[in-house]
Homo-oligomer: A and B are copies of this chain.
Amino acid sequence: MMGVRLNEEAKGVFIISVTPFRDDGALDLDGVGQLVDFYIERGIHGITILGMMGEANKLTAAEAEAFALRVLGETRDRVPVIVGVSTPSLAAMRELTSKVMDHGAAGVMVAPTPGLRTDDQVFGYMETVAETLGSEVPLVYQDYPQSTGVALSVPTWKRMVDALPSLVMLKHEDCPALAKLTRIRQGEMAGEFRRVSILIGNGALYYPEELIRGADGAMTGFAYPEMLVEVLALMSAGKVDAALDLFDAYLPLVRYEQQPGWGLPARKEVLRRRGAIASSRARYPAPSLGTEGLAELDRLVSRVHRRLEQVAPDHARAIA
């Protein structure tokens, strides 16, 4: 089976999928179809699995593979699927990559391994990754220093883009990062280096600014993928104020879901309420929201709905 390969032209919303567990903590493979359909029905343009928000590092190797193959099977090429394969073991990275590419993945995402320090080390690592995975495997660089501790400079990015043809996408979630995004787009426009797709992360907290600065879409996991999709559509149509009205209506919840650690159970709870997954269970370590947290979600969601009725009544009806 061979799906479409990811390339530099990629645009849109690649939703970061949660990994569904049953209430007993077991992987909920049977729930994967429902989750994939939920996302696709919300208009997303791609799915990214086994990211950090996807609790990839809490799975066994066998579970990760089983989940990935199930997602690929359920997606049936309706949208491209990117698989997070970051791990300190290049052998394990190659193994998982080979398996998912054989089953139709569009590409893989790699975050630089913690401990890299100088520009040369970052470049050297990604060069080794690209060689290890093979030139035919489209590669997404996840720039997430808040988690990895590894910073990406624009000169290193240029060097990687020049040397590694399989590198087709930047997942941009450095923070602060607005200036870097602008510098990369300027460098591309000046012909200094190849243009690649840039999708933004950070829970979409800076989504409007990043789109205006030239991002091609989002790769993040907000529980209302409709917002991510429609903000992009409105921005692309030049309707900036409408896009901002929609974004701002959701912002209190965006901000809440973006809290480190706390955001994952919050997001899973909203997805459960929306019917995307059967259980909001997250694997250890994950905080319990408690009655206060659940009340906060109630209030946030209720206010988002109320606000949407004012600024985007069609949208409000669609998500009701």
| A contact residues vs B (CB 8 Å cutoff) | 57-63, 88-92, 95, 117-121, 124-125, 128, 145, 151-156, 175-176, 178-179, 182, 205-206, 209, 212-213, 244, 248, 251-252, 255-256, 259-263, 283-285, 287, 290, 292-293, 296, 299, 303, 307
Between A61, A156, A252, the greatest number of chain B beta carbons within 10 A of the residue's beta carbon is seen for A61
Given contacts A59-B89, A90-B283, A248-B307, 14 further A-B contacts (CB under 8 A): A59-B91, A90-B284, A118-B119, A118-B152, A119-B153, A121-B151, A182-B290, A182-B292, A206-B255, A209-B256, A212-B292, A248-B251, A248-B303, A251-B255
Contact for A209 among B62, B206, B209, B296, CB less than 8 A: B296
Q: Which residue of B lies closest to A59 (CB)?
A: B89
Query: Cα distance A178–B59 when bound, in Å?
Result: 28
Provide the residues of chain B in CB contact with A155, threshold 8 Å.
Answer: 118-120
Query: Cα distance A119–B95 when bound, in Å?
Result: 33
Q: Which 10 A-B pairs have the closest CB atoms?
A: A117-B151, A118-B153, A176-B262, A61-B61, A119-B119, A57-B88, A60-B92, A176-B259, A176-B261, A60-B91
Q: List 5 A-B contacts (CB under 8 A).
A: A59-B91, A60-B89, A176-B261, A179-B262, A248-B307
Contact for A61 among B60, B153, B263, CB less than 8 A: B60
State how many copies of this chain the complex holds.
Answer: 4
Contact for A60 among B95, B156, B213, CB less than 8 A: B95
Provide the residues of chain B in CB contact with A59, threshold 8 Å.
Answer: 89, 91-92
Provide the residues of chain B in CB contact with A156, threshold 8 Å.
Answer: 118-119
A51 CB, nearest partner CB in chain B, Å: 14
Query: Cα distance A209–B151 when bound, in Å?
Result: 32
Contact for A62 among B61, B63, B128, B212, CB less than 8 A: B61
Q: Is the CB of A284 within 8 A of B128?
A: yes
Provide the residues of chain B in CB contact with A178, threshold 8 Å.
Answer: 259, 262, 292-293, 296
Contact for A176 among B95, B153, B260, CB less than 8 A: B260
Query: Cα distance A255–B205 when bound, in Å?
Result: 8
A198 CB, nearest partner CB in chain B, Å: 15
A124 CB, nearest partner CB in chain B, Å: 8
> Are A176 and B128 CB-contacts (below 8 A) given A91-B60, A252-B251?
no
